[in-house]
Amino acid sequence: MTTTPLPGHPHFALRDGELFAEHVRLQDLARDHGTPLFVYSKGAMLAALAAYQRGFAGRKAQICYAMKANSSLGVLQVFAQAGCGFDIVSGGELERALAAGAKGGDIIFSGVGKTRAEMRRALEIGIGCFNVESEAELEVLSEVAVAAGQVAPVSIRVNPDVDPKTHPYISTGLKGNKFGVAHERTVHAYQRAASLPGLKVVGIDCHIGSQITEDEPYLDAMDRVLDLVQAVEAAGIALHHIDFGGGLGINYNGDQPPAADALWAKLFAKLDARGFGDRQFMIEPGRSLIGNAGVCLTEVLYLKPGEQKNFCVVDAAMNDLPRPAMYQAYHGIVPLSRGGDQPQTYDVVGPVCESGDWIGRDRALAVKAGDLLAVLSAGAYCMSMASNYNTRGRAAEVLVDGARTYLIRERETAADQMRLERPAF
């Protein structure tokens, strides 16, 4: 048998011309579960996590999976069983983390718009830390905690004004972004937090963006955060932990982000040099753990030639794979089996009634109606951002573990979508 791993996707490989996830032929999964279908490799998830674990060997550190990247329960269970905590940004994500087996103390609550109800629920289950994103939030959280007879553990998310050199929609650490407390207001915010009766200061937090592919933004942000740690502690406020967020990119189209263990070797060298190497550290990776562990299988419905463009119409759409429409993002697209036809150049598009409903532009594909394709790097920010636009049901999901498969989400039906609706007349 001839085996050829897909570049950048070592747990997906062509075997005698057929695409496999670990030891499972993807054609078989499409036949058994239909399309569109998301397929995740457990081995790929754990391999990505292992790179962070190597980088943190011998350090006091906690890895909290940023579940906004993909919050499917089967995915969360893999990371929970591997020892991860969770970074959440909503009350719904809190309930998902608990359902996946997380303990309250292993959960970090981030996000700029926490409601009082979400705060109360998080306090009720013993949340590990609130990453507070504004001075106004400090006041509200203290009120909620006092009313509940509790003290809320807080870390303030600081905005270091560092350019992550990524898409502007996923840049979060510049002055013009909505996230975090301004660098120059940080010490004042900590002094206010320390004075409020419902709060206990436990750490400092920073997150500068997503799909970052260079070392320099992390190193620059670390310097600015460590300067703030010194300033805050000089004001008499101890910081138990330092949280550097996530944001490490993956290979979508020849991108070359640093490996997680190599990046953290550089970051710890800086931490050690500045005397902070023995602190408790927390990080919140998301995309880099799940992004390249997932593919979306889709069937070719029609080939539509045109004067200016040839279109390959598939049954997956922008409601399943929103990143191209939102960010003009690139996803690799490959057939599940190699054919002998001559490739032609197509725009790969979906059935949704929007010109923005495209999956890939100008792709060389040898396909015909009825063929199956895999959209690569689909583990992150696809199912978690999926919608029911055009009353399309969300796709089914399958987790592959070696030769075993688990249906972790059933395909959504029209009845599922209408279950909570009521006729007006």
Determine the length of the chain: 425
> Does residue 166 have a pLDDT over 50?
no
User: Which pTM value belongs to this model?
Assistant: 0.94
Task: Give residue 279's pLDDT.
Answer: 93
> Does residue 130 have a pLDDT over 50?
yes
CB 358 within 8 A of CB 265: no
Domains located in the chain, CATH noted: 3-41+291-418 (2.40.37.10), 110-285 (3.20.20.10)
Out of 129, 206, 296, 353, the active site residue is 353
- Cα dihedral 101, 102, 104, 107, rounded to 10, equals -150
CB 293 within 8 A of CB 45: yes
The pLDDT tens digits of the residues spanning 300-349 come to: 999 999 889 999 999 999 999 999 999 899 999 999 998 767 899 999 99
Q: What mean pLDDT comes out for the span 189-204?
A: 97
- Residue scoring higher pLDDT (3 or 278): 278
Name 106's Cβ contacts closer than 8 Å, sequence gap at least 6. Answer: 62, 64, 84, 85, 86, 128
Q: What mean pLDDT comes out for the span 250-265?
A: 92
Catalytic status, residue 84: no
- Cis geometry, peptide bond prior to residue 7 (ω within 30 degrees of 0): no
CB 245 within 8 A of CB 206: yes
> Does residue 176 have a pLDDT over 60?
no
Task: Give residue 169's pLDDT.
Answer: 39
Name 129's Cβ contacts closer than 8 Å, sequence gap at least 6. Answer: 108, 109, 153, 154, 155, 202, 203, 241, 243
Q: 303: how many CB neighbours lie within 10 A of its CB?
A: 16
> Does residue 177 have a pLDDT over 80?
no
